[in-house]
Amino acid sequence: MAIADQVSADVKDAMRAGDKERVGALRLVLSELQKAAKEGSDDELAILRRERKRRVEAASAYREAGRTDLADGEEKEAKLISTYLPAELTEPELEAIVEQAVRESGATSVRDMGGAMKAAMAAVDGRADGKRVSGMVKAALNG
């Protein structure tokens, strides 16, 4: 079942349950998925990652502005979107990917980080945050 179909079914279930917050969040996600499909994009996971990232950034901005009520709502939506994404990589899994990427790219210093990051992000395939990967690559290159 495609992710959009699953989200659509979940919208209906949330409507039956009377969960207005969940219905609203899922409708926004479904709208983005449908819009991307019309534009010819079939990478539903990339769309979900983008939407989750937007929610996380908005929550951070709201927290900095002292609006914890809005930040909590954004975090709930990000968590909801995360349920449709593959599981995040564990630390040992990510470390193994980073070590292999550094080895394959031939990077020896932080100046060579671009090649190592490119290889690592391709292998990670969205299952870890770019900041987390960047930190590990930096740590691996600094020795």
Quick one: pLDDT at residue 141? 84
Range of the domain at 56: 3-82
Same domain, residue pair 67 and 98: no
Examine the domain organization and report whether 64 and 99 are in the same domain: no
Q: Do 72 and 13 share a structural domain?
A: yes
DSSP class per residue in 73-94: HHHHHHHHHHTTSPPPPPHHHH
Backbone angles phi, psi at 86, to 5 degrees: -65, 155
In CATH, what number is assigned to the domain containing residue 25?
Answer: 1.10.1510.10
Which of residues 51, 82, 113 is at a domain's end?
82
Does residue 48 share a domain with residue 19? Answer: yes
**End residue of a domain, out of 82, 101, 130:** 82
- Kindly state whether residues 104 and 135 are assigned to the same domain: yes
* Lookup result for tokens 């990427």: 101
Which pLDDT belongs to residue 143? 66
Q: How far apart are the first and last CA of the chain?
A: 44
pLDDT tens across 47-88, in order? 898 999 999 999 999 999 999 999 999 999 999 999 998 888
pLDDT at 122: 87
Alpha helical stretches, state H, 18-143: 20-38, 44-64, 68-82, 91-105, 113-124, 130-142
pLDDT confidence bin for 108, thresholds 50/70/90: confident
Length of the chain: 143
Q: What single-letter amino acid sits at 68?
A: T
Residue 110's Cβ-count burial label (10 Å; 0-12, 13-18, 19+) is exposed
Q: Does residue 111 sit in the same domain as residue 67? A: no
Per-residue pLDDT, 56: 92
pLDDT at 129: 81
CATH code of the domain containing 111? 1.10.10
User: What is the mean pLDDT of the segment spanning 112-120?
Assistant: 87
In this predicted structure, the answer to whether residue 142 has a pLDDT above a threshold of 70 is yes
Does one domain contain both 97 and 132?
yes
Query: What residue has token string 């945050």?
Result: 129
Do 116 and 47 share a structural domain? no
| pLDDT, tens only, 11-44 | 999 999 999 999 999 999 999 999 988 998 878 8
97 and 138 assigned to the same domain: yes
* Count of structural domains, the chain: 2
Which residue is listed with tokens 């990967």? 133
Q: Are residues 77 and 110 in the same domain?
A: no
Q: What pLDDT does residue 1 have?
A: 54
Those residues whose C-beta lies under 8 Å from the C-beta of residue 138, and which sit 6 or more positions away, are 110, 113
What confidence score (pLDDT) does residue 69 get? Answer: 94
